[in-house]
Chain A
Amino acid sequence: MKLWKNVIIKPYQTMKLTQKTILTALLLGFTSLSFAQNNSIVLNFKNVVGNEALVLNEKLYTNASGEQFKVSLLQYYISNIKLKRADGTEYVVPQDESYFLIREQNPASQTITLPNVPAGKYVGITFITGVDSLRNTMSVGRRTGCLDVGGEGKDMYWAWNSGYIFVKMEGTSPQIPEDSLRKGHYFLYHIGLFGGMKSPTLNNIRTTTLAFEKPLKVKENGNISEIQLQADVLSLFNGSTNISLAQRPVVMANPFSQKVADNYAKMFSLKGIKKLKASEKSAEMVGMK
């Protein structure tokens, strides 16, 4: 008892006001941690073409303009993830850990884990396709992991027009006139543009909000849920504007890219929510790492 008094209570009483504040804050912080009821949530992104799974390079698909096409590359940024509760409040994934680069070529990248989601009931999810404007203006030190322009993000960044490529899709179509330089029937869709720095330009950032059929319960020590999402490549071509590959084989930093962005705003849908058993937990893809 004397120990308790001398070591803890007395020093606390003689502490200056600011020191007390800091200590109290720390203690509260620790206590909230120890009573935390968090768990992880897994997101899985499956890329499809209408009713079929996307198979790179091999399968020939058809778009709304009647054009056949093969896809050789598909990748996109998913960021700024939020989970919505029934009462309207949201859990916002800490921003620095909320950037993911999904590559069809890399199946492991299609599953991401959100750690430390507070316990509760969630009714929906919101995320951005692409990289938000503010991040596009941040210092190079704030661009790590999949945003690293000299690392994982190297092929999703325009060095000549500072900004990230949000959605990149490449492939071929027999309906595209042959490219004299590259000798092939290629299409290149590199969609970016975050709104501009010195003066406003196009903003192709799009937000997707999806509601769950049934509320998703997150419980500490409960099973981890996997939210299964789907990105339909056909939506990129068929949407508010039907896009013809023959007429527009190359879409990059130009005004037409807005039409593609308006289409991919509707690219995602919810396939379902699955409860994962311990053995089913997929490889972790955490934050920007």
Chain B
Amino acid sequence: MRQKFLFISFIGLAISSLSFINGNDTLFVKPANFPEPLYRFNENPLTPEGVELGRLLFYDARLSRDGTISCGSCHQQPSAFTQHGHALSHGIDDLLTQRNSMPLQNLAWLSDFGWDGGVHDLDLFAVSPIQKPNEMAETLPNVLDKLRLDSAYLLLFQKAFGNSEIDTEHFLKAISQFMLTLVSANSRYDKYIRNEGETLNAEELAGLSLFKQKCASCHAGELFTDQTYRNNGLKITNSEDIGRAAISLNYADKYKFRVPSLRNVAQTFPYMHDGRLGTLQEVLSHYETGVQAHAYTDPLLKGGIALSTTEKTQIIAFLNTLTDTQFLKNPAFSETGEAYNEPSVSIGDWTKINFGELDPTLKVTFQEALVSYLDITRAIAKEDGKSAKETADKLLKMLNQIDKSKFSALQKSLYISTIEDLSFDIEHISETESFQHQRDHIGDVGKNLFKLIKAYHANNKPLYYLFCTKANQGRGGYWISETPNSANPFFSTNNKCGAIKEELFNN
């Protein structure tokens, strides 16, 4: 009799927890080609309100001591929630993080988190970056106190959890709910492998086959990681970062780091736990000829991986098929919650398009923008971060005040598709006095500004477009100049690195 009672209640519990796992079908769906997730959904079922609250918290800089850094600062959606182009990230007071910012994707399938796997529960991860002095430098109790003063958050917590009391458990669970929705499983590779009508070309297929032979022992399965910790033969440049050994306390794990997932790898550069390799070419070259023969190298990699030039090209072609554009552009994951403005006309190769005559007042604005830009590059070359910051702030305001109704439809499409990135980098320069940090961004400002000036024929004097291959840790950087030989802003004054890529006449 009692046994029957217990049995019935057990079934009841099992059924209710199942429904929690399925919860809201659209917020988290297990892709057909993925294994079962590991996260305990029954302890934190996803709801639209919980996910929305988590998203707002994720992008809220109040989680940092001085209100300048949010999770989204170092985990940016267009680069699969890594930090675009940064080997290490900048925390509070421009302090550097120890390691490269990891992508936030498919977290429900991970058993532990971080390059050394020190955190075993997604719900408990956020505590670490929030409290690290070189990251957000805040304490969790302070964060909760700040949120409790915000009536909007009181209401959001009420809607999400039925209780407006903002406590540790629900704060952390809300952030988890948002992060769990970040599922990337709709790359071209996925659609191909699931027979959803996508085809891979010969080069990509050859790359896939090579990948399975030469890479998949570690970058295994549909998650593209076997979730182990290994040393891949990188030269040990920071002997203090012992990786997994700090957690396992097993010295056999010294200098081992997690095998990362390769999904969206084309977007998550630079690579490795310290971001030392800037391109996929460099990564494959490392595996071919760069693997060190030190004692810590994984036995699977000793001697490197034989790869011909063709094979490397094919593998890279395959890796590019792991890019999931839907994931990278999904407005539900973004800071504003809105879709990134897609141009109303598809631009394609903009260099082949005639954008027509630009409105004269806009031309003047772009000429003024150029003057500000040149001032910024000169300031950065002189290591005067303060002036650069102030001018960048003015430039940002100038661009924000542009009257877009003066563009033609075609001109506006180009502008909208460019201004997001352009503002992003100018904003970074306007937020710091560190010329080193500003150097990380000035290249992309030059690139995007030149694109607009060239497309609109907005310059009233000849301009030179230069490129220095050594800038940005070997990824190179562009800048615009009025003379063919101005100093590049990426290194200290009088650095000679730079070659003219283009000369823009004023006509």
* A161 & B124 in contact (Cβ 8 Å cutoff): no
| B173 located at the interface, meaning its Cβ lies under 8 Å from any Cβ of chain A in the complex | yes
Across the interface, which residues of B come within 8 angstroms of A202, CB to CB?
249
Assembled-state Cα–Cα distance A22/B171 (Å): 37
Q: What is the distance, in angstroms, from A203's C-beta to the closest C-beta of chain B? A: 11
Tally of contacts, chain A with chain B, CB under 8 A: 93
Query: Is A154's CB under 8 angstroms from B119's CB?
Result: no
Contact between B128 and A160, CB atoms less than 8 A apart: yes
Question: B44 — which chain A residues lie within 8 A by C-beta?
Answer: 139
Q: Which residues of B (233-261) have their CB < 8 Å from a CB of A?
A: 246-250
- Inter-chain contacts of B144 with A (CB < 8 A): 150
Contacts of A240 in B (CB 8 A): none
A201 touches B43 (CB 8 A): no
Distance A1 CA – B172 CA, assembled complex (angstroms): 58
Q: Min CB distance, A202 to chain B, in Å?
A: 6
Report the separation of the CA atoms of residues A157 and B40 in the bound assembly, to the nearest whole angstrom: 22
Cα of A139 to Cα of B124 in the assembled complex, Å: 9
Pair A198/B169 contact, Cβ less than 8 Å? no
> Known: A159-B131, A161-B247. Is A154-B5 also a contact (CB below 8 A)?
no
CB of A255 within 8 A of CB of B249, answer yes
Interface string of A12-24 (1 = CB under 8 A from B): 0000011001100
Q: Does B167 contact A (CB under 8 A)?
A: yes
- Per the bound structure, the CA–CA distance linking A18 and B9 in Å amounts to 11
* B91 vs chain A, min Cβ distance (A): 14
Closest beta carbon of chain A to B138's beta carbon, Å = 11
Known A-B contacts A137-B120, A150-B168, A160-B118; the reply to A198 vs B111 at CB < 8 A is yes
Q: How far is the CB of A97 from chain B (nearest CB, A)?
A: 18
If A197-B112, A255-B249 touch, whether A141 touches B2 (CB-CB below 8 Å) is no
Tell me, in angstroms, the Cα distance from A61 to B43 when the chains sit together: 48
Within 8 A of B (CB), among A64-97: none
Please provide the chain B residues from 141 to 176 with a CB less than 8 Å away from any CB of chain A in the complex.
141, 143-144, 167-169, 171-173
**In the complex, residue of chain B having the shortest beta-carbon distance to the beta carbon of A152:** B141
Q: Which residue of B lies closest to A17 (CB)?
A: B1
Task: For the complex formed, measure the closest distance between the CB of B504 and the CB atoms of chain A, giving whole angstroms.
Answer: 50
Query: B-facing mask of A244-268, CB < 8 A → 1, else 0?
Result: 0000000001110000000000000
Evaluate contact between B8 and A18: CB separation under 8 angstroms.
yes
Name the one of A148, A198, A199 contacting B168, with C-beta atoms under 8 angstroms: A148
CB contacts (< 8 Å) of A196 on chain B: these are 248
CB distance from A196 to the nearest CB of B (A): 7
**Chain B 309-348 interface 0/1 with A at a Cβ cutoff of 8 Å (1 = within):** 0000000000000000000000000000000000000000
Q: Mark A25-65, 1 if CB is under 8 A from B, else 0.
A: 00000000000000000000000000000000000000000
Q: Is A188 an interface residue (CB 8 A)?
A: no
Does A116 have its Cβ within 8 Å of any Cβ on chain B?
no
The reply on A162 being an interface residue by CB < 8 A is: yes
CB pair A140–B248 under 8 Å, yes or no, is no
Q: Is the CB of B171 within 8 A of A150?
A: yes
B382 contacts A by Cβ under 8 Å? no
Nearest-Cβ distance from residue B401 to partner chain A, whole angstroms: 42
A234 interfacial contact with B, CB 8 Å: no
Is B121 a contact of A140 with CB atoms below 8 Å? yes
Which A residues are CB-close (under 8 A) to B246? 161, 253
Contact A141 B169 (CB under 8 A): yes
- Name the contact of A149 in the complex, choosing from B43, B117, B168 (C-beta under 8 A): B168
CA–CA, A149 and B121, complex, Å: 13
Q: Which residues of A contact B139 (CB under 8 A)?
A: 154
Closest Cβ–Cβ distance, residue A168 to chain B (whole Å): 16
Q: Is the CB of B127 within 8 A of A149?
A: yes
How many Å from the CB of A279 to the closest CB on chain B?
A: 35
Closest residue of B by beta carbon distance from A202: B249
| The 5 residue pairs across chains A and B that have the minimum distance between CB atoms | A150-B168, A150-B140, A159-B128, A159-B127, A197-B120
Extra contacts, 14 of them, besides A18-B8, A139-B43, A160-B132 (Cβ < 8 A), are A17-B1, A22-B5, A137-B121, A143-B168, A144-B169, A149-B124, A150-B140, A154-B139, A159-B127, A161-B119, A161-B247, A162-B121, A199-B248, A201-B249
A residues bordering B, Cβ < 8 Å? 17-18, 21-22, 137, 139-141, 143-144, 148-151, 154, 157, 159-162, 193, 196-199, 201-202, 253-255
Residues of B within 8 A of A (CB): 1-2, 4-5, 8, 40, 43-44, 111-112, 114, 117-121, 123-124, 127-128, 130-132, 139-141, 143-144, 167-169, 171-173, 246-250
19 pairs, A vs B, C-beta closer than 8 Å: A18-B5, A18-B8, A21-B4, A137-B121, A139-B43, A140-B168, A141-B43, A149-B124, A150-B172, A151-B168, A154-B139, A154-B140, A162-B118, A197-B120, A198-B111, A199-B248, A199-B250, A253-B249, A254-B249
